[in-house]
Amino acid sequence: MEHLYEILKHVDGFIYPNEIELQWGILIILYPYITGLVAGAFILASLERVFKIKVLRPTYHLALLTALAFLIVAGLPLVSHLGHPFRSYEILTTPQLGSAMAIFGFVYLWYLMVVLLLEIWFDYRYDLVIWSNESKGIKRRIYKILTLGVTDISPKALAWDKKLGYIITVIGIPSAFLLHGYVGFIFGSIKANPWWSTVLMPVIFLLSAMVSGIALVMFLYMVVSWIRKVKIDMACLDEIGKFLFMVLILDFTLESLDQVHRIYEAEESFEILHMLVTGKLTYTLFIFQGLMGTIIPLLTLGFFRMYLPKEKLRKPIYFLVSCLVLFGVFFMRWNVVIGGQLFSKSFLGFTSFKLGMVGLEGFWMALVWMIMPFLILSFILWLLPPWKKHSEETV
Amino acid sequence: MGTKRMNASRRNFLKKSAALAGTILATSALAPFNAIIFAAGEPEDKTKIWYGIGIDIEKCIGCGMCAKACKSENNVPKEPFYYRSWVEQYTIKNDGSINVVSPNGGIDGFTQTVPEEELFKTFFVPKMCNHCAKSPCTQVCPVGATFESPEGITLVDKEYCIGCAYCIQACPYGCRYLHPVTKTADKCTLCYHRITKGLKPACVEVCPTGARIYGDLNDKEGELHKFLKEHNCQVLKPNLNTGSKLFYNGLSAEVR
Amino acid sequence: MPVQLKTLIPLFAVFIILFLIARHFLIPDSFGKYGHYRANSIDEIAALPINYAGKAVCIDCHDTEAELLASDAHAGLSCEVCHGPNAKHADDYEIKEYLIKQGTREFCGRCHSLNPARKIEVINQIDIKEHHPEKENCIDCHNPHAVWELKE
């Protein structure tokens, strides 16, 4: 409790006495951040499949597997931040349906089991059967289990794989929207908090999720290509850049609209939010999220729409842009989660927040959560390498 | 939100939809306008007890005994971060500036440092859970660990709470905290363990001036009804439509 | 039916059935009796021990103090405002370690010290430093129970 006494000294103005401690810290920032990456990556994958954007083909499987790796981790920071993690099953057994958070368990399971796993399974089933015959030892076992015993690879069965996979993708798009729109709703539905309570919140979350997910796939595609020492498909990268640009514009417009609306309506909470934005959130909002995460990528990608520089130049720029966007969206989540708790609901003062280094809610732990999906992804890529798929030509 | 309401709605469902729509329209048009309804919504059962609270700001002397007693009665951690009930002192100066303080929730008492000639007005506001009829906090609980009891008291089941702190975010009045020992949400119970034994809530018991009353909102002869009738009462943040059942007499517009 | 579904449908069915079975055992008994919560928790909260016994209880044994108190300006005060939470003492009067008997300037000053936020109609205030400084404690002059019974 030492840190609370420390914070007590840094309280500005008046806050309700229970508001000194921020209830939601870095872990709750990671939760919407990671789910956002999932939703975004998945939507990028579906673009290829459902909207038949063929140039995106090289990233299709990567995007899917990325979504899976991040989804596996997505719920963990949330659960580990609970006061009683072992009671978390209650969300599934007795969900209180009036609560946005209660649906989380089901949305999560739906998305994991029905959408992602099934889509990947349909997509890889043919290869799993082949690989289970080709490889030896433990790997062979794993592949065998993963086929779930469905080893029929007649053209008829393969046609079904394709068909069912397609249906799942079509279901998957609204599911991805649901998954993240709903995360926005968790915040947007809190009428007590004027910084959160806006109908646009789910939409903003969704768009920023798409932005971050697309940037993540862009980033990973380049990294994976470098590691594998294969040539990056520039047409594909440009296409991703194009989509990133489009969604960024939408995201930027809506977020600005939200702020303009706030400023123009200037409700009861306006003064305190103004102080928040120009005070405690200056760096994270204007510099990190606004300038670095949005404006610079927007201008760069916009410039690329008019003039495409040489490949040698474009690659590092794309790389940089994807990093900036990922960084910016992280701080978007930061500004929502932390910003919403810094000011008092009495609108008369601020508490303060300092990210600790150690402990369950500390920086290092957050870093672990952030690295974990990448490790899982490397494992999945090792197990199910998209570049070794046999079915490539048949699909 | 008991089974009763569920059954009723199910029964309604069986009726023809046209008839249903008609009834809803008719009842909503005919329902007499009720001043308390506006603020607090409707009790589940008008024949049963439905608790509300009244606080008379004119009478509050800011001794902080209520906040102190609350901690002793409910074994609330003594650290200055956890309060089920606390007192704020508002000081509005002639230059228009508002200063609000609540040192240790008022438990150690207050002093007024602003000299009298600079004062525009100053007063105390005791705060506690509003026991809202349309509680935003119970609405967001993912597992049903916080709920409104049949008597209209918002309670937390500490054996069932998962400690997600969503309810703490949802309370507009800052009345909840995460208990550092049990790691569950905790809040004012209107001393449920006392009032069910016929005792007054601890804060009401120790209030030296009778600034706090509590009682049955369904009892038209009761003390609380008398209080509401004789004073111009207001609830906190009425714009949020929480159905607050904590009524303040003499609430100044500055109070949040 | 495609071969894939022949495996997947039973698999999902097993998952769902397992979940429903687990759910059945995990839901507490009284859950949902009154609403979407554990009805027993109400009784558990109601059964918590009390710490403040209430004025009515103190009066049962301490009729002298009670009469004194009722006779004067402090009639509205509860015994436990000044004496602290004492349900334990009320149960067993031998237990006296939680009894507070304070009559210091600071203690009485919590209610009586000057503060413009206090309405004079509600409470009479004095400057606790300037008011009759010849004696140290308030109760050296005032009887805490019958405050106008001045000792001299």
Chain centroid to Cα B125, Å, comes to 13
Helix (H) or strand (E) holding A315: helix A311-337
CB contact under 8 A, A92 and C23: yes
Chains near C with 3+ CB pairs less than 8 A apart are: A, B
Residue B139 lies in a domain: yes
Residue B26 lies in a domain: no
- Residue bearing tokens 């209107």: B190
- CA angle (C11 as vertex; C5, C13 as ends), nearest 5: 100
- Our count of domains for chain B comes to 1
Indicate the residue of B83, B136, B256 with minimum beta-carbon distance to A17: B83
CB atoms near residue C14 (< 10 Å): 10
User: Is any Cβ of chain C less than 8 angstroms from the Cβ of A92?
Assistant: yes
Task: Dig out the tokens for B78 from the structure.
Answer: 């003594």
Task: Dig out the tokens for A344 from the structure.
Answer: 């008092």
pLDDT at C66 over 60: yes
Residue B16 lies in a domain: no
| Phi and psi torsions of C31, nearest 5° | -65, 130
The pLDDT, as a whole number, for residue B44 is 67
CB contact under 8 A, A148 and C11: yes
B230 Cβ neighbours under 8 A, 6+ residues apart: none
Task: Dig out the tokens for B120 from the structure.
Answer: 């525009």
Question: What three-state secondary structure class fits A344?
Answer: coil
The pLDDT, as a whole number, for residue A273 is 94
| Phi and psi torsions of B59, nearest 5° | -90, -15
Contacts of C2 in chain A (CB under 8 A): 157, 160, 164
From residue B17, alpha-carbon distances to B7, B14, B25 in Å are 17, 8, 12
pLDDT at A317 over 90: yes
CB contact under 8 A, A18 and B175: yes
pLDDT at B18 over 90: no
Contacts of B146 in chain C (CB under 8 A): 37
Task: Dig out the tokens for C22 from the structure.
Answer: 């687990």
| Phi and psi torsions of B248, nearest 5° | -105, 135
Residue B138 lies in a domain: yes
DSSP at C124: -
Mean pLDDT score, C81-87: 91
CB B156, CB B145: distance < 8 Å = yes
Indicate the residue of A90, A92, A149 with minimum beta-carbon distance to C7: A149
Query: Rounded to an integer, what distance in angstroms lies between the CA atom of residue A277 and that of residue B220?
Result: 49
CB atoms near residue B25 (< 10 Å): 10
**Chain C residue nearest residue B125, CA to CA:** C117
CB < 8 Å from A in window 159-218 of B: 160-166, 168-178, 180, 182-184
CB contact under 8 A, C2 and A164: yes
DSSP at A334: H
Closest-CA residue to B51 (of B36, B35, B71): B36
The pLDDT, as a whole number, for residue C93 is 87
**DSSP per residue, A248-275:** HHHHHHHHHHHHHHHHHH--TTHHHHHH
Q: How confident is the model at residue A182 (pLDDT cuts 50, 70, 90)?
A: confident
Chains near A with 3+ CB pairs less than 8 A apart are: B, C
Q: How confident is the model at residue A390 (pLDDT cuts 50, 70, 90)?
A: confident
User: Is any Cβ of chain C less than 8 angstroms from the Cβ of B246?
Assistant: no
One-letter identity of residue A146? L
Q: How confident is the model at residue A360 (pLDDT cuts 50, 70, 90)?
A: confident
CB contact under 8 A, C36 and A152: no
pLDDT at B7 over 70: no
Q: Mean pLDDT highest for which of A248-257, A380-389, C91-100?
A: A248-257
pLDDT at B28 over 80: no
**Chain A residue nearest residue C25, CA to CA:** A93
As a dihedral over the C-alpha atoms of residue B154, residue B159, residue B160, residue B164, rounded to 10 degrees, the angle is 80
CB < 8 Å from A in window 1-20 of B: none
Residue B46 lies in a domain: no
CB < 8 Å from A in window 84-143 of B: 86, 88, 98-102, 104-105, 127, 136, 139-143
CB B127, CB B119: distance < 8 Å = no
Provide ipTM, 2 decimals: 0.90
Q: Which of B85, B164, B177, B255 to mutate to test the interface with A (most CBs of A within 10 A)?
A: B164
Mean pLDDT score, B79-84: 94
DSSP at A103: G
One-letter identity of residue A51? F
Q: Which domain holds residue B141?
A: 51-249
Residue ranges per structural domain of chain C: 51-100, 101-152
Q: What is the pLDDT of residues B92-118, one digit of tens each?
A: 999 989 999 999 999 999 988 888 889
Contacts of C19 in chain A (CB under 8 A): 92
